Amino acid sequence: DYLPWNQPRREPLRLEHKYRPASVRFDYRTTHQDDYPLKGLVKTMSCKPLAMPKLCNIPLEDLTNYKMSYVAHPMEKRFVHEAEKFRPCEIPFESLTTHKQSFRGLMGEPAKSLKPLARPPGLDMPLSNTTEFRDKYQAWPTPQMFSKAPIPYVPPEDRMDLLTTAQAHYTYPKGAPAQSCRPALQIKKSGRFEGSTTTKDDYKQWSSMRAEPVKPIPQLNFPTEPLDCLTTTQAHYVPHPPINTKSCKPHWSGPRGNVPVEAQTTYTISFTPKEMGRCLASYPEPPGYTFKEVDASGHRIYKRISQAGSQQSSHLSVDDSENSNQRKLEVSA
């Protein structure tokens, strides 16, 4: 069915190949290689000072403000408080307790023993075999089950039709084998197979040589002198012998003497006792005040008599009113 057609070859739709490689030799150097060339070691001069000990003939001034200004005072003997000796009480101890005084033993009936008898009566009688289940739950008479006799099987006398619905209804009255409409295959025995493709024609292998790797020219000169392994700490910080310093701590002259403690405090000096006055809320009707009204919350509101009466006493200050109220409280008390 699928035979090759004799059609001419179509040219592929591609852009025109205009690239031509340059005939000049390719410069393989990069911007980094041109701008940052390799430089050799720069021989620098060591500016490290020579390791010479610094000697000074001037002695160290060991005077301090503490040595010059400190005056050692004699230490007083420490006061030691002697505890008072324990004196036992001369009144004899009462060996009475609340239990002995309040809870006195009363005469009562002796306790009865609730211990069961050693052999309860009725153990010699034989055990009864009747139970509540046997007495109340008796077996009911069950009726005889009715069983129906099965119907005997009678095989059919006719022959069984083994045809299905499809075989019985979907028949082929004019049945004939189907004929193939495929044309005859014509095999060409002469001619050469064309095995060229677009990829083989356009993408051909180029003749190229392997490029050698670009390696920089070594320009590093190693020094001939051995490396000085001394650091600045090892060269300058040389360990020195320790110097014994003189202690400036004053000597202890001994404990303080028996000095009594000064029993004066800010409370004992500044506190002045004041008289305790009675609170006005403790009176059923407080003196110096008259009942005004009862607010929504149920509180009784009072006002001073000086405000309710004439205004002659309005020039009295708050201190005077308080003093008068205090005098009334003292008189009432």
Please list the helix, strand and coil fractions of the chain in percent, rounded to the nearest 5, in that order.
20, 5, 75
Say if residue 208 is exposed, middle or buried (CB neighbours under 10 Å; 0-12, 13-18, 19+): exposed
232-244 average pLDDT score? 84
Structure tokens at 175: 């049945």
pLDDT in tens, 57-73: 888 888 889 988 998 88
Q: Return the pLDDT at 152.
A: 92
CA distance 70 to 250: 9
CA atoms within 13 A on the CB side of 1: 3
Residue 229 has pLDDT above 80, yes or no: yes
Q: Return the pLDDT at 122.
A: 62
Residue 172 has pLDDT above 60, yes or no: yes
Picking from 266, 302, 264, 304, the residue whose alpha carbon sits closest to that of residue 288 is 304
AA identity, residue 157:
E
Output the pTM of the full model: 0.16
Please enumerate in sequence order all residues whose Cβ is within 8 A of that of 314, keeping only pairs 6 or more positions apart, or say none.
306, 307
Query: Residue 221, Cβ neighbours under 10 Å: how many?
Result: 9
Q: Are 235 and 51 in contact (CB under 8 A)?
A: yes
Q: Say how far residue 33 (Cα) sits from the centre of its chain.
A: 55
Region of 199 please: left (phi>0), alpha (psi -120 to 50) or beta: alpha
Percentage with pLDDT > 70 across the chain: 86
Structure tokens at 87: 């004196």
Residue 329 has pLDDT above 70, yes or no: no
Averaged pLDDT score across all residues of the chain: 79
pLDDT band at 189 (very low <50, low <70, confident <90, very high): low
Q: Return the pLDDT at 330.
A: 43
Q: Which tops the pLDDT comparison, 143 or 105?
A: 143
The pair phi, psi for residue 64, each rounded to 5°, is -125, 170
Percentage with pLDDT > 90 across the chain: 1
Which 3 state secondary structure label does DSSP give 300? Answer: strand
Q: Are 42 and 226 in contact (CB under 8 A)?
A: no
Which 3 state secondary structure label does DSSP give 147? Answer: coil
269-287 average pLDDT score? 83
Least confident of 4-8, 123-127, 299-303: 123-127
Beta-strand relationship, 289-294 and 300-304:
antiparallel
Q: Are 235 and 56 in contact (CB under 8 A)?
A: no
